[in-house]
Structure 1
Amino acid sequence: MATGIREAILSGEFVPNQRLVEADLAERFGASRAAVRAALLELANEGLIERVQNRGARVRAISLQEAIEISELRMVIEGLCAAKAAERVTEDGVRLLTEIADDMRAAVAAGDVFGYSRLNERLHRQIREISGQRTAAGVLERLRAQSVRHQFKLAMHPGRPAVSLPEHLAIIEAIRDRDPEAAERAAREHLRSVIRTLPEADRTRPHGNGLAP
């Protein structure tokens, strides 16, 4: 139940400040009102929705300042994951990262913003898997979900793929070289770039959702 609502928020079907009516959700997902209430409580604990007195639940709108703070926290955690990935990467992991790097270069060369963003998300997920940091991975997923609208604006910001590509390639190279310090440094620099760009990207008005920076 919570998974279905969460996916609707991440896909942009449910937008910030949209009311979530228990009866409508119960009908849509074929669930009881009790199951809906439990799911909404779970998502409220994740920071995806908020309960408004006498008005029920709505999708929580994340401010620019919150998005920056989330990115600052991601900078620390993703740096840790990159360092651990550099320590633990196998030859299969190196091969997968190399394939992603090649595909990212091709997407940027072709101007495929959506394809590049999907590869971007795949890369970050692969690094988390290689790192073996399951707790960190769970935290990062919740943080990503909370700031998904700002991430989409950033992904759509003109010229962003050309900026983030070398940043991602630097992370991949450090992990393939099994250099934890360089991997953490590259991951942190990527998130610093995100933080610098967020205010400008926040002024754009993209259509759709589901992309990564």
Structure 2
Amino acid sequence: MSDQDLVRLRALLDETIERGEERLPPEPRLSEELGVTRGRLRTLLRHLENEGAIWRHVGKGTFIGQRQVIEPLAAAANFSVDDILHARGVLEPQLAAEAAIHAVPEDLAAMDACLAEMALSHSMLQWKRLDEKLHRTIAQATHNVLLVTLYDTLRSQMKFTLDRRIDQVFGAEPGPKENTDDEHHKVVDAIRRHDPQAAEAAMREHLRALRAKLFGLR
């Protein structure tokens, strides 16, 4: 797959997010803007869909983020930021532990690629997209479809609540975030060693540090 095609599509995705839009243009327009065939475009879209960056609904279009399992309006009414922080603290350390048990070389290569891109990112928007990609890659490394679905459900709630706080705190700053990147490396290194206890502890500490940065809470 040509990296340049994917780079252009990612840039278009970022521009769409910056405009506050949640759906990409129709395929004919996308194909024309990127200068690729429809078949090539679908291959690129499948790549992003596998990453969890987009999801597609036949007859409705291509949407940004993971497929929403719970309707966002219901989420906004029922789940507080504290609910989401607590849920992340329960679920994601366990996902990291499971990833340490089940990850294969391809999973680790995908995590390493995320970390490398994050180190080179020059905007918060790009860094944040890669952060989301890394966390989902860790979930996928469990090779458990139900656990990935639970993660995607949690991620969809974060999009409408916790992400606003992240933008308030970090939105004006350039990426990458060195301390957070170091925390990510510790999680991935523990997964690489197939050490579930260390992976769980590293992810828990990473989420505690994030909570402290966002709200001054431990």
The reply to whether TM is greater than 0.5 is: yes
The yes-or-no answer on 1:167 pairing with 2:167 is no
Match of 1:184 among 200, 203, 211: 200
- The answer to whether 1:77 aligns with 2:91 is yes
* Number of the residue aligned with 2:136: 125
> By how many angstroms is 1:194 displaced?
2.4
Contact persistence 1:89–1:131 (CA under 8 A) = yes
Would you say how many aligned residue pairs link Structure 1 and Structure 2? 153
Percent pairwise identity: 26
Using the TM superposition, give the Cα deviation of residue 106 of structure 1 relative to its aligned residue in structure 2, in angstroms.
1.4
Q: Deviations along 1:125-170, whole A, 9 cap, x unmatched?
A: 1111111232222222222222324224315524682332111111
The AA in structure 2 aligned to 1:121 is E
Residue in structure 2 matched with residue 46 of structure 1 by the alignment: 70
Q: Is the CA contact (8 Å cut-off) linking 2:139 and 2:151 kept in structure 1? A: no
Change over 3 Å in CA distance of 1:103–1:30 after alignment to 2: closer
Pairwise CA RMSD of aligned residues?
Answer: 3.2
C-alpha distance after superposition, 1:78-127 (max 9, x if no partner): 111111111111122222222211111112xxx32111111111111111
Q: Which structure would you say has the larger RCO, counting Cα contacts within 8 Å and 6 or more residues apart?
A: 1
Look up the equivalent residue of 1:46 and give its one-letter code: I
Q: Secondary structure at the match of 1:157?
A: helix
> What is the aligned partner in structure 2 of residue 154 from structure 1?
166
Helix, strand or coil at the partner of 1:104: helix
TM-score (norm 1): 0.60
Aligned to 1:104: 118
Task: Quickly say closer, same or farther: Cα 1:138–1:115, change in 2 above 3 A.
Answer: same
Q: Give the TM-score taking structure 2 as reference length.
A: 0.59
More off after superposition, 158-167 vs 77-86: 158-167
Higher-Rg structure is: 1
Give, as a single letter, the amino acid of the residue that structure 1 aligns with 2:72: L
What are the superposed Cα offsets for residues 28-74 of structure 1, whole Å, 9 maximum, x if unpaired? x989xxxxxxxxxxx8x825214xxxxxxxx83677xx112211111
1:83·1:184 contact (CA, 8 Å) conserved in 2?
A: yes
Question: 2:101: which partner in 1?
Answer: 87
* Partners of 2:178 and 2:168 in 1: CA distance: 12
Q: Tell me the equivalent position of 2:45.
A: none
CA distance in 2, matches of 1:93, 1:146: 25
State yes or no: 1:60 paired with 2:76.
yes
Instruction: Determine if contact 1:67/1:150 at 8 Å carries over to the other structure.
Output: yes
Structure 2 unaligned blocks of 5 or more: 1-18, 23-57, 61-67
8 Å CA contact retained: 2:100, 2:191 = yes
